[in-house]
Amino acid sequence: MRTGSMRVAEISLPAIRHNVQRVRELTGGRVIVVVKADGYGHGARIAAQAALAGGASMVATADIEEALALREAGIEAPILCWLHGVGADFGQAVAARIEVGVSHAQQLEALAAAAREQGTTATAQLKLDTGLSRNGAAPEEWPALFARAAELQRAGLVRVSGVFSHLANAGDAHDRAQAARFDEGVALLRASGIEPEMIHLAASAATLTSPHLHYNTVRVGVIAYGLSPLADRSSAQLGLIPAMTLRSEIVALRGVPAGTGVSYGFNHVCETATTLALVPMGYADGMPRALNGAGAWVTVAGEHRPIVGRIGMDQFIVDVGPLAGRLELGERVVLFGDPERGHPPVEIWAGLMRTINYEIVAGIGPRVLRVPAEAPAGGDADRGAEAGQ
Ligand SMILES: *Cc1c(COP(=O)(O)O)cnc(C)c1O
């Protein structure tokens, strides 16, 4: 077990439970929570456990490997995964009772072969491409794929538990066109003799904006973590609580005279005498190096203070001038968290980097300790309670 307070992503379990509960209230149907990419950087096991406690009926990953890791971590709930390499090991997925998203005939045959070999029934969910032009079976493949799936289901080798597709989020008209194509796919599947239990199209954005796209299940990632997928709506406006508080601590403090250059290249020079705080997080931990000079800030002792100078691989500098007398080594520094609790929202970094909140949280590096906390989001967990699970 790793411990420490130098680089911590504190993950509020109550926040994840609340967000999932909120999705359940919004939709009234089943909720699949996506925990791919290490739970969007929050820790896949932590995220999966909290999501299930909040009422998710299934968790999902992209890869089989991610799904297997969850099983090994003791997650017994249904798990779905849908993105497979050419040599994907469906045998391991079948043995671990993982539901496999199937995008084409070859995957279906490989899954059936694995089931035959183990003398068991594999569970599949058929993934349809309704316009995103990525993963999923194209409409012209549907008749043959569905007929073969029905045959394998009758033979007891593959049970088709669901059908799903993914939206391009290109606007309401496109969403409706994709939904119409999805409806045709579901109808064709039924006509082939398969009645799917789970029918799902909406991810986070459509779950929030389009009740007519909820079907009987939604498949959400980012809103389970309390982040907004909508450019013009904040977490709070959507009734969500950001679950991750990224924090570190001051490991050195130094008073400097006016004219002092800071960090590589001296692209920040202190205009007046001030105090600089050293914080041991850097671009290897997922802080974008290009934040340098862009106006990003952190909270220290409840105050907003600017990041100054270039961000290094392992460390950066905060100008804590006016706070100097109040600070000691070990003082907590919050890089982002819940703005309702006074912390910078992750959307500041995302905006400065011209990207989305998803990319920032998913990019938090492996040196950062994920610490589950029963405290509300906001970095309030006691330092003594950081041992994790
Ligand atoms: C990542 C992913 C999701 C979750 O998307 P959010 O916008 O985070 O809700 C849902 N479905 C598929 C197929 C995905 O790849």
Which atom belonging to ligand 1 lies closest to the Cα atom of 204?
Answer: 9
CA of 237 to the centre of ligand 1 (A): 21
Are 151 and 63 contained in the same domain? yes
Q: 302: which residues sit within 8 A by CB, 6+ positions away?
A: 342
Are 119 and 208 contained in the same domain? yes
For residue 268, is it within any domain?
Answer: yes
Which of 228, 261, 292 terminates a domain? The answer is: 228
If we measure between CA atoms, which residue out of 245, 208, 250 comes closest to residue 346? 245
CA of 219 to the centre of ligand 1 (A): 7
Are 279 and 135 contained in the same domain? no
Are 155 and 191 contained in the same domain? yes
Please tell me the distance from the alpha carbon of residue 173 to that of residue 23, in angstroms, as a whole number: 24
Are 155 and 277 contained in the same domain? no
pLDDT computed for residue 387 by the predictor: 35
Q: How far is CA 2 from CA 7, 102, 245, 334, 370, in A?
A: 11, 37, 18, 20, 9
Are 37 and 151 contained in the same domain? yes
Amino acid at 349: W
Q: For residue 33, count CB atoms less than 10 angstroms from its CB and return exposed for 0-12, middle for 13-18, buried for 19 or more.
A: buried
Question: Probe ligand 1: pick from 16, 135, 166, 209, max atoms within 8 Å of CB?
Answer: 166
H or E element at residue 203: none
Please tell me the distance from the alpha carbon of residue 353 to that of residue 363, in angstroms, as a whole number: 13
If we measure between CA atoms, which residue out of 245, 248, 250 comes closest to residue 320? 250
Which of 228, 260, 276 terminates a domain? The answer is: 228
Q: Looking at ligand 1, which residue's alpha carbon is closest to its atom 4? A: 221
Q: What is the CATH number of the domain that holds 283?
A: 2.40.37.10
pLDDT computed for residue 293 by the predictor: 85
Q: Is 134 annotated as a binding residue?
A: yes
Q: Looking at ligand 1, which residue's alpha carbon is closest to its atom 12? A: 166
Are 314 and 290 contained in the same domain? yes
Please tell me the distance from the alpha carbon of residue 3 to that of residue 375, in angstroms, as a whole number: 18
Per the prediction, the chain carries an average pLDDT of 95
For residue 100, is it within any domain?
Answer: yes
Are 252 and 223 contained in the same domain? no
Which of 163, 193, 228 terminates a domain? The answer is: 228
Q: Tell me the catalytic residues.
A: 36, 264
Q: Looking at ligand 1, which residue's alpha carbon is closest to its atom 15? A: 62
If we measure between CA atoms, which residue out of 92, 29, 98, 22 comes closest to residue 61? 98
CA of 309 to the centre of ligand 1 (A): 36
Number of C-beta neighbours around residue 171 at 10 A: 9
- Cβ–ligand 1 distance for 127 under 6 Å, the answer no
Number of C-beta neighbours around residue 284 at 10 A: 16
For residue 190, is it within any domain?
Answer: yes
Q: Which ranges constitute the DSSP H helices of the chain?
A: 13-27, 36-40, 44-53, 64-72, 90-95, 105-118, 142-154, 172-191, 204-209, 346-352, 357-362
| Segments in the chain below pLDDT 50 | 381-389
Q: Are strands 297-300 and 332-336 parallel, antiparallel or unpaired?
A: antiparallel
CA of 133 to the centre of ligand 1 (A): 15
pLDDT computed for residue 167 by the predictor: 98
Count of domains for the chain: 2
Are 368 and 222 contained in the same domain? no
For residue 134, is it within any domain?
Answer: yes
If we measure between CA atoms, which residue out of 101, 109, 110 comes closest to residue 82? 101
For residue 2, is it within any domain?
Answer: no
Residues 349-368 pLDDT 10s: 999 999 999 999 999 999 99
For residue 97, is it within any domain?
Answer: yes
For residue 236, is it within any domain?
Answer: no
Q: 353: which residues sit within 8 A by CB, 6+ positions away?
A: 288, 290, 291, 359, 360
Are 186 and 279 contained in the same domain? no
CA of 260 to the centre of ligand 1 (A): 47
Are 31 and 152 contained in the same domain? yes
Residue 300 belongs to domain spanning: 244-385
Question: Probe ligand 1: pick from 219, 240, 361, max atoms within 8 Å of CB?
Answer: 219
For residue 5, is it within any domain?
Answer: no
pLDDT computed for residue 381 by the predictor: 46
Q: For residue 218, count CB atoms less than 10 angstroms from its CB and return exposed for 0-12, middle for 13-18, buried for 19 or more.
A: buried
Spell 267-279 as b/e; 16+ CB within 10 A means b. ebebeeebbbbbb
Phi, psi values for residue 168, rounded to 5°: -85, -10
pLDDT computed for residue 292 by the predictor: 87
Q: Is 313 annotated as a binding residue?
A: yes
pLDDT computed for residue 97 by the predictor: 98
- Cβ–ligand 1 distance for 305 under 6 Å, the answer no
Are 375 and 350 contained in the same domain? yes
Please tell me the distance from the alpha carbon of residue 227 to that of residue 325, in angstroms, as a whole number: 35
Q: Looking at ligand 1, which residue's alpha carbon is closest to its atom 10? A: 203
Which atom belonging to ligand 1 lies closest to the Cα atom of 358?
Answer: 8
Q: What is the CATH number of the domain that holds 118?
A: 3.20.20.10
- Cβ–ligand 1 distance for 200 under 6 Å, the answer no
pLDDT computed for residue 2 by the predictor: 65
